[in-house]
């Protein structure tokens, strides 16, 4: 990466400052914290949750997140009987604005193939064990349709603010390959 950056700067195509600004934007302005804010609002505001259910793209836009693959988003709500996860089997369509840079495993051909054919095994690979009565749904994202999983709100979070709730939401929980953090384990 350093060699590529040096070459781009040497050729006059960019500057080190421009690259630093872009990296900072992905680390601080774009990323899983935006999706976490969507989830926390859905957990704490029933009216927002309903808007997210009906038209996730518009509800997400209410929070100021638009563009960069946040168009055509559907919210998938995990329940005690249904667990949702999503993948892009053809490439790596991913809602960057909400979830930040996609993890390497998300783009891996092995993951993309296995999640469709053996979703419970993939969940086990991520340390997730679901009751056999829970139906696992796998959704295939594309340029025309993207997803965000709204995980179940963790027990013991009553009375927590949206900001506190957002700290419990992980990128993997919004893909469906993880649970939110336990408030006791996460701490204040």
Residue 122 has pLDDT above 70, yes or no: yes
6 in a labelled binding site: no
31: left (phi over 0), alpha (psi -120 to 50) or beta: left
Predicted confidence (pLDDT) per residue in 60-111, tens digit: 999 988 775 677 899 999 999 999 999 998 876 788 788 888 888 998 999 9
Active site residue 88: yes
58 in a labelled binding site: no
Provide the CATH topology of domain 34-186. Nitrile Hydratase; Chain A (3.90.330)
Q: For the chain, give the number of residues.
A: 188
Active site residue 93: yes
Active site residue 92: yes
User: The tokens of 54 are what?
Assistant: 């009906």
161 in a labelled binding site: no
Point out the catalytic residue in the list 6, 58, 91, 142: 91
| End-to-end Cα separation, the chain, in angstroms | 37
Q: What are the domain boundaries of the chain?
A: 1-30, 34-186
pLDDT of residue 2: 79
Q: For the chain, what is the mean pLDDT?
A: 89
Q: Are 98 and 57 in contact (CB under 8 A)?
A: no
pLDDT of residue 147: 94
93 in a labelled binding site: yes
């Amino acid at each position: 990466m350093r060699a590529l950056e040096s070459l781009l700067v040497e050729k006059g195509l960019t500057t080190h400052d421009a690259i630093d600004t872009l990296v900072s934007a992905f680390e601080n302005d774009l990323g899983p914290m935006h999706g976490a804010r969507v989830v926390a609002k859905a957990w704490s505001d029933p009216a927002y949750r309903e808007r997210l259910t009906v038209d996730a793209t518009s509800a997400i836009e209410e929070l100021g997140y638009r563009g960069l693959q946040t168009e055509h988003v559907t919210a998938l709500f995990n329940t005690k009987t249904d667990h949702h996860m999503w993948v892009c089997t053809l490439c790596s369509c991913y809602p960057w604005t909400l979830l930040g840079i996609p993890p390497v495993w998300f783009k891996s051909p092995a993951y993309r193939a296995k999640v469709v054919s053996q979703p419970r095994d993939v969940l086990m690979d991520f340390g997730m064990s679901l009751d056999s009565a829970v139906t696992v749904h796998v959704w295939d994202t594309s340029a025309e349709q993207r997803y965000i999983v709204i995980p179940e709100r963790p027990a013991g979070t009553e009375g927590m603010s949206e900001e506190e709730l957002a700290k419990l939401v992980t990128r993997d929980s919004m893909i469906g390959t993880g649970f939110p953090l336990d408030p006791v384990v996460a701490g204040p």
